[in-house]
Amino acid sequence: MNSKTENLIESLKKKYSNSGEDLNVHLEGLLHSKPITYWDYIQLESLLGIQNPRTKHPDEMVFIVYHQTTELIFKMILWEIDQIAVRKDLNATFFAEKLTRISRYFDLLSNSFEIMNEGMLVEQFMKFRTTLTPSSGFQSAQYRLIEFASTELINLIDIRFRKTINRNTPFEHAYEHLYWQAAGKNHNTGAKSTMLIEFQEKYMDDFITFMKYYHKTNLWTRFKSLPLEIQNELELRNAMRHYDHTVNVKWVMFHYKTAGKYLKSSTKVRATGGSNWQKYMHPKYQKRIFFPDLWSLKEQNQWGIDNLKDYNILTK
């Protein structure tokens, strides 16, 4: 037996004796275990078995898989953000590298959104969408979690109520005034739509827990906790701006354009979730910005107006 093997066995002995287990039993287990395969490792059969269209229109399959793919990417984004949130010796390189990776995920989502826009037959979409009412991508909880994890809560509050809310406002109260409540509330009566009520019943408690968790560890708060000279590093500032723009303008505009293609075909067509979608979805109205301090006033005023153009990269 070579010394590397001996060392490994010695380490394994230690590992198992620490937890009162017998190494020999584990070694014998290795003799009997099946080789791992690609399909078992990534649970391919389960993954490919969770698409259940509600109609016979073939494009509905594409619609489902594309939503599922987006949710998997959202999961990776949340995974990366949490690495920044819990990092003890956070530095500019680690922060910028992770942010760039997160942006790549959102770039991928933005650049692939055309799959929903081009190639899907409007008449098929208009048929299968009726079976989805009153659900909507609006009910994507991970999308909301990405927002909570990215910025201070105040930046997610509906612009009309920002003055009435501060860091001491109870989370439950802030929740009621998040910008996205507007998509599901009657403007005059405040009555909530089925889409919003269902969403709230399923996720509100989790959202409040998450809001509390990210209150002090969201991307912006972590950025502000860094020494000033690190905050001023161009690579990091540009990575923050790129992320902000990709999430809040680029992706949103591809989404808006797609909604326009299907829902604008008749002024009478309502979104499946029931929102006044033109006003709700266009970034120029809500001006959702995760890191407003990193944008000049002029840039903020232009938010969503020079929509598909690249954001301006800061230079020295």
Contact residues toward ligand HEM (CB under 6 A) are 66-67, 70, 116, 136-138, 140, 143, 180, 183, 255, 258-259, 262, 271-275, 277, 280-281
Closer by beta carbon to ligand HEM, 13 or else 67: 67
Cβ proximity of 290 and 224 under 8 Å: no
The distance of closest approach from Cβ of residue 2 to ligand HEM in the complex, given in angstroms and rounded to an integer, is 52
Select 155 or 238, whichever has its Cβ closest to ligand HEM: 155
Q: CA 79, CA 102: separation in Å to the nearest integer? A: 9
As measured in angstroms, the least distance from the Cβ of 211 to ligand HEM is 16
| 237 versus 255: smaller Cβ distance to ligand HEM | 255
Q: Are 128 and 60 in contact (CB under 8 A)?
A: yes
Q: How far is the CB of 149 from ligand HEM (least distance, A)?
A: 15
Token output for 112: 């692939």
* Tokens encoding 284: 């120029």
Nearer to ligand HEM, 70 or 103 (CB): 70
The nearest distance, CB 206 to ligand HEM, in angstroms, is: 16
Q: For residue 242, what are the CA distances in angstroms to 130, 136, 227, 248, 287?
A: 36, 27, 21, 10, 16
In the complex with ligand HEM, the residue whose CB is nearer, 26 or 270, is 270
Least separation in angstroms between CB 295 and ligand HEM: 19
**Cα(10)–Cα(5) distance, integer angstroms:** 9
Task: Please report the sign of the dihedral spanned by the C-alpha atoms of residue 240, residue 242, residue 243, residue 248.
Answer: positive
Residue 20 backbone class (left: φ over 0; alpha: ψ -120 to 50; beta: rest) = left
